Structure 1
Amino acid sequence: MSNGLVIKYDISDFERSLGELINRLEHREPLMRELAAAMGDAVEENFKSEGRPAWMGWKSNSYWAKRRGGKILQKSGRLASSITQQNDNDSATVGTNVAYARIHQEGGTINIPSRSQRAYYRQRKDGSVGHRFSKKSRANFSQWHTLPAYKIDMPARPFLHLTEQDISGMEDSIETYFQRVIDTSR
């Protein structure tokens, strides 16, 4: 065939282009950073919206329901501000290291043991003592109280949660990323 008429297709250009595409696809850190940011935004929205779907509300007479706007899981803002994002070439992660986060995320029972503690009061001139606690520095009367053991049932309030809309948006980001990689390979 060397002396005859032939049609030849050389795939070396294709192999080179395919190799470049594979190299670009192996560098996924920008994509993982984008996904971590999207998950972080979703968690922030969970706090803002008080759950998606809505978290179980406060008891109607709850002290915190009446203070600070009554935002669930946001008494001090520590939990919401502890959310961090991490990513590398192969993963995107959003989470918290706050010790009490798991009970709020998953729900459960907290067992409070019995305890004794000193309470401080102001004693009036007539010798009677009110029912209001006082700071130790302002008190002129103290009394020991024993509190029995009790349980607190915490409902699950999943703040590390992605809705179907969040996941769909992340899938769109992945598709867009891969399309950009393919387009730059041409």
Structure 2
Amino acid sequence: MHWIPYQFLAGLLDNVFSHFRPLIAGLRNPSVRIERNVILKGRMAHLRLGRRVVIQSGTVIHAGGMAWCEFAGSVSIGDDSVLSPNCVLYGAGPGGIRIGERFDCGPAVGIFASRTDYRSRSAHVFKEVVIGNDVVVFANAVIGPGVTIGDRAVIAAGAVVLDDVPSGAMVGGVPARILRTDVD
């Protein structure tokens, strides 16, 4: 009989259960709407969804709890927030992702609290991502580890956000830079 390493088995089970977790999340909070083909990875105890959150089809949310992320991580999404189709939220590792209320997230947005350490390639870098209230992120934007986005900020389509964004600012570009400071 061959021995199956714990990490392999845990990963396999997580992949199987990730398709059932949206049903469990919906039952825990009936005001949340989770569309089909949403994948919730990691421990459900590390995922907090506010009231009336909408998560559209094809979105992947990783709330940590695996060996590669030091069994840590979390994703918290505030009330009345919308994640459009095909978004990826990786809250794996110490810190995780905290999103405020009334977050409006366009399609195919990536928000990452972790990344591969490209210098060593054998480790990860973990830094918390914090997004304030009433933030709008347009399609295909990427928000990297360690970024804080202030209330009422706007992130342009395709922006790569690697630095903090002040409240009421609009940023865009690769890497993102401030385009306006008065979007209130």
- TM-score range for the pair, normalised by the shorter chain length: under 0.3
TM-score under structure 2 length normalisation: 0.23
Rg comparison, structure with higher value: 1
Bigger fraction of residues in strand: 2
Which structure's relative contact order is higher, taking Cα pairs within 8 Å and 6+ residues apart?
A: 1
Bigger fraction of residues in helix: 1
TM-score under structure 1 length normalisation: 0.22
